Structures are given as structure tokens and as C-alpha cells.
Structure 1
Amino acid sequence: MASLKEVRNRIVSVNSTQQITKAMKMVAAAKLRRAQDNILQMRPYAQKLGQMLSTVSAGSESSVDSPLKDVRAIDKVLIVVVTSDRGLCGAFNTNIIKATLQLINEKYSVQASRGNVEIFAIGKKGAEAFVRRGFKVNTGYTDLFTRLKFVNVKEAAEQIMKDFSEGRYDVVDLVFNEFKNVATQIIHTDPFLPIVADTTTQQVKAPEVNYIFEPNEEEILAELIPKSLKIKLYRAVLESNASEQGARMTAMDKATENAQELLKALKLVYNRTRQAAITTEILEIVGGAEALKSA
């Protein structure tokens, strides 16, 4: 049985940990509110921009040539993985890493065996995980969450589009967590490049739309295509940021509850140990007194 001093030290340690987890939960809750507001404001714009691009493309009479639409034989693959910079957020990062590995094994196993799968890491945890696994990792934008602004995410999207246009990659996929609520995050593995026309949208919308383009169709689509990709990546980063704070808030809440349960158990052990020590001392005193009487 542990001594009273050891149990007291454990109680002090768990109590300190509980105070830390409570503080981290409050910080995560405050950050979540801001992150949730940002993503709720971004979603309608991103969805409308995507619809606009689909309907304009469907209603156009000619196909606008763009290097971002080039469909090539898949040899070199880039996967954009959005994780967090810090841990203590439950299975948030682990689930993204598992989903990415599953995507590679199921879809790009041949390319991976040749060493032609590269990771574009947004967030330090993902970069560290895939470096340990021996993947080629682009770490130029791992710190986006420390400077989370559209202009910085735009630079990352422009770099990805530039590399794809120059033929460095044949396909680009995006893996991230979509925020649903505090306790739920939905993992998405979405194609990013090349841009593939939505045949369903074309079949349904094409007869119904008749656009007048100003200045002209080519310039408008040439502007819309890169902008929609930048917004798509920015939305993924905002979704992941809100998901991270929700996951951390949930994890810290659970940790606080666990610490409370552990404190109850330790205090019970402490009281029993103290009672046993007092009983032992009383028995020793009584035994000593009896010995003196017999002397």
C-alpha cells in the first residue's frame, strides 16, 4: 500500500492537472466560437462560388483551355493533409493520418511503391507523422494556423496550382476535417486537381442558362477557376481549425471529468491509508501500555 506522502503527492499532481485541463477547455471554447463564426460565414460564399463555376462552365458554348483542367496519366501524386500544430485534441490528428494512409493504400499504392507520393502538410502534426513514415513532405506551409489569413492560404494554393501546371504532379487530393459540431468532425478526402467538369450539372443546367459574358467567357473562367481553388483550400483550413478547437474542447472536458474521478479514488485511498496508520499507532500504544503493566 502506498504511503500517505505518496498519495498526497498524487492528489496534488492530479489536482494541478485538472486545473490545467479546465483552463485549456475554456481557451478552446473561446477559440471555437471565433473559428465557428469564420467557417459559417465562409461556407455560403464557397458553395455559391462553386455553383457559379459549375453553371457558367455548363452554360458556356466553348471549352476554356486551362492547365488546371489537364487530365494526365497518374504517376506523381500530391496529397494536401490538413492537421493541427498541437496535440491534446483527442483522435483529431490520428484520424486524418489514418484516412490519408488509407487513401494512399487504396488509390495510389503503385505510385507510393515508386516513391511518387508527396505530402503537402498544413499543420505540424501531419508533417511530423509522414516524415517519420518516410514520405516526401513539403513543409513550407506547416505554420499556416499561426498566421491564418486568406492571403497566406492563397499563397499555398498558388504554389500547388503552379506545381500542377508545370507537371510536377499529375493529381492533387485534399484531406481535412469538416466541422459539424463540437463532438463531431467529418473526414473529407476530396479531389483538388485537375478540375473535372460535373457532367450531371452540365446535363441539367446547360439547356436552362444563357449567359452574356463581359468582357468575355475566357477571361471570366480563367479568373473563376483559380479563385475557386483558393477558396476551396481556405475553407478546408477554416473547417479544420474549427474542428480542432471542438475536438480539443471535448478532449479537455473528458480529461477534467477523468481527473475528478481519479481524485475521488485517491482521496478514498488516502482516508483508508490514514485510518490504517492511526489504527496501527493505537495498537502500538495499547501494546506498549500492556507491556509496561506486565513488567
Structure 2
Amino acid sequence: MAMAALRREGRRLLLSPITPNPSSAARSAMSISPEQSAPIGLRSISTQVVRNRMKSVKNIQKITKAMKMVAASKLRAVQVRTENSRGLWQPFTALLGDTPSVDVKKNVIVTITSDKGLCGGINSTSVKVSKSLFKVTSGPEKETKYVILGEKGKVQLIRDSKGSIEMTVTELQKNPVNYTQISVLADDILKNVEFDALRIVFNKFHSVVAFIPTVSTVLSPEVVERESEAGGKLGDLDSYEIEGGETKSEVLQNLAEFQFSCVLYNAALENACSELGARMSAMDSSSRNAGEMLDRLTLSYNRTRQASITTELIEIISGASALTG
């Protein structure tokens, strides 16, 4: 055993001078294993990072496509209900009129937004219109308050208009919007908020990729009667005679309450329909952007991997040439 070990050691010592002054590439190849080489390790980390990024982008793309499909499935049903609801408030507009330029002392801006995000700039548009309307209706002897429907509008308006917010309502769209729910909400607003004019700000649905910021005005019975007595004709109301023993004030009170609930119901449906259309468009754009990013990452991954393979081949060939030369 000892003699065999000595013979092996002597054979190693005799063979070692055969390769005088090996090149630096050969020395590095013989002395450092591929697992311990820093450049190869860095390349492996680089490809792993790109691979993880590609996996994340693929997962995001799956989520955006799923959200687009969900919004598309909900849009059709809401769109039909929205188109049917437009026939509720149009007779009131013909009867009482819609006078956004009326000058009153107490204005209440009812801003309708969504509870969820990822739907483009639909909520920002409603907030911008509300802020502009707040500046127009404010004055030394005037009072303007906000009634906010939706979490997104609440978050944006509470930053600089916290003292002007009279009432907030969230999770309105947790369940499908129905007239019973909206009528209870409208009655709650009328009981808790003093107003001369209610200005409802919402996004009217035009198409899947377009919505129109809209403001509807509902006047209080006192203002309607005052404007009518002052000679200003509000719709076709003055063309009808009141029968049944009710006074004009009582009729206007009932009409104003019913008008507000109908307009609010239509506005909530219009905004919900616009939200789904905007979410479809936003998720479609996100899916396309994710696909483009995935293409760029795939190209980068292939280039990095090819460069790593080429470098390793060059090192192997250089080491083999140094050993045989």
C-alpha cells in the first residue's frame, strides 16, 4: 500500500514539468472549477432574474385578461338596464326642465364614482368636474357642499375639501344597482342635506371606449316655484292645471323627490356602465403592454443565454488548445 502510494506520487512529480509555462486561460481552467468562476455565476444569476421577471409578467397578463373578461360579461347586462333607465328621468326634464345655470345660495354636488380602481381616468374625470363646479357655485353669500358616492371619489376629494363634505356613501355597487336601493339613498340625502339645487356629476355611457362627463340639476320645490313665479318657464309645468285639491307646492315637492331618485338611479347605472367599459379598455391595454414586455424579456433572455453558452465554449476551446499546444 505504501509503495503504491509512493509510486503514484513519484509519477505525479515526473509528469508535472511536461507543460512548462501554461497560458493564463489554461491555468484558470485547471485551477478554478466552472462552479466557482465568477463570470459564469453572474451569467447564471442574470438569466435567473430575467426568467423570474418573465414569470411575473405572464401572471400579470393572465390577471388582466381575466379582469377584462369579467368586465365584458357584466357590461352587457348593465348596459341594457342603463338604456331602459333613461326613460325614467326624461319626462321630468321635459316637465321641470334642467337649468344648470340657475343661481342659488345652497348648492349640493353629488359626485358619483366607483369603489374599485383599475378603470382608467373615469374617477379622476368626475372629481375634476366636481371641483370646477365647486369653484363656479361658491361665493361670499353661497354655500356649496359635497355628497360623495364611491370610495375613489371620497379618497380624492377628502385631501383638499374635507370641510365641505356633507355625506359619503361607499360600497354602493357591491350588489347590482336597483331602484329600491337608490330611492332609499335619495330619501336619506334629502332628509340630511339642505339644498336649493342638487347637481349630480356622473359619466354618461357612450360606448365601450368613450364616456361623457355629465351634470344634471335638480332644483328644490321652493326654487322651482320661485323661478316659475318670476316669469321663468321651467319646462312644460306651467302648461298643466293642478286638480285634486293639492296645492302647487305639494305637487312640486312630490315631483322633486321622484325626479331626484330617478335621475340618481340613471346616473348610478350610467357611471357603472362607463366604469365597466373603461375597465375593459384599461385591462386590454395592460394585456397588450404585458405581451410587448414579455417579448422584450424573451429576447433579452435568449441573448444572455446565447452569450453565456458562447463564452463557455470559447473558454473550453481555449483551455483545450493550451493543453494540446
TM class by smaller structure: 0.7 to 0.9
Partner Cα separation in structure 1 for residue 88 and residue 161 of structure 2? 38
**Alignment RMSD (CA, Å):** 2.8
Question: In structure 1, what is the equivalent of residue 173 of structure 2?
Answer: 145
Alpha-carbon contact 1:79-1:174 (below 8 Å) kept: yes
Matched, 1:95 2:95: no
Partner Cα separation in structure 2 for residue 201 and residue 120 of structure 1? 25
Secondary structure of 2:169 counterpart: coil
Deviation at 1:103, TM superposition (A): 1.9
Distance verdict in 2 for CA 1:124–1:111, change over 3 Å = farther
Secondary structure of 2:170 counterpart: coil
Question: In structure 2, what is the equivalent of residue 22 of structure 1?
Answer: 65
Distance verdict in 2 for CA 1:228–1:210, change over 3 Å = closer
2:278 to 223, 247, 250: 247
The alignment's TM-score, normalised by the length of structure 2, stands at 0.73
Alpha-carbon contact 1:111-1:117 (below 8 Å) kept: no
Matched, 1:155 2:184: yes
Distance verdict in 2 for CA 1:91–1:118, change over 3 Å = same
- Aligned-partner residue type, residue 89 of structure 2: A
Secondary structure of 1:50 counterpart: helix
Deviation at 1:175, TM superposition (A): 1.1
Secondary structure of 2:174 counterpart: helix
Question: In structure 2, what is the equivalent of residue 122 of structure 1?
Answer: 149
Deviation at 1:210, TM superposition (A): 5.6
Matched, 1:4 2:47: yes
Partner Cα separation in structure 1 for residue 240 and residue 159 of structure 2? 53
Deviates more, 1:229-238 or 1:189-198: 189-198
Partner Cα separation in structure 1 for residue 141 and residue 80 of structure 2? 40
Partner Cα separation in structure 2 for residue 105 and residue 161 of structure 1? 23
Question: In structure 2, what is the equivalent of residue 68 of structure 1?
Answer: none
Structure 1: tracts of 5 or more residues without a match = 55-70
1:177 to 198, 203, 208: 203
Matched, 1:234 2:261: no
Deviation at 1:239, TM superposition (A): 0.7
Alpha-carbon contact 1:79-1:175 (below 8 Å) kept: yes
Deviation at 1:53, TM superposition (A): 4.6
Partner Cα separation in structure 1 for residue 55 and residue 273 of structure 2? 33
Alpha-carbon contact 1:28-1:248 (below 8 Å) kept: yes
Alpha-carbon contact 2:95-2:237 (below 8 Å) kept: no
Matched, 1:264 2:290: no
Partner Cα separation in structure 2 for residue 110 and residue 281 of structure 1? 79
* Cα distance per residue 1:189-232 (max 9 Å; x no partner): 33333354684665x886xx565734656455443221111101
Partner Cα separation in structure 1 for residue 200 and residue 141 of structure 2? 17
Structure 2: tracts of 5 or more residues without a match = 1-42
Deviation at 1:125, TM superposition (A): 0.5
Aligned residues: 268
Distance verdict in 2 for CA 1:5–1:230, change over 3 Å = same
Partner Cα separation in structure 2 for residue 212 and residue 109 of structure 1? 37
Alpha-carbon contact 1:32-1:246 (below 8 Å) kept: yes
- The structure with more radius of gyration: 2
Distance verdict in 2 for CA 1:118–1:52, change over 3 Å = closer
Matched, 1:51 2:80: no
Partner Cα separation in structure 1 for residue 292 and residue 279 of structure 2? 20
* Cα distance per residue 1:101-159 (max 9 Å; x no partner): 222234326589xxx54321101101111122242334542222124222221122223
* Cα distance per residue 1:250-285 (max 9 Å; x no partner): 100111111111111111111111111111111111
Distance verdict in 2 for CA 1:224–1:170, change over 3 Å = closer
Deviation at 1:161, TM superposition (A): 2.3
1:132 to 142, 155, 159: 159
Distance verdict in 2 for CA 1:117–1:215, change over 3 Å = closer
Partner Cα separation in structure 2 for residue 53 and residue 171 of structure 1? 13
Partner Cα separation in structure 1 for residue 146 and residue 94 of structure 2? 29
* Cα distance per residue 1:166-204 (max 9 Å; x no partner): xx34443221111111111111133333354684665x8
- Aligned-partner residue type, residue 273 of structure 2: A
Deviation at 1:162, TM superposition (A): 2.6
1:192 to 204, 213, 218: 218
Deviation at 1:290, TM superposition (A): 1.3
Deviation at 1:78, TM superposition (A): 2.4
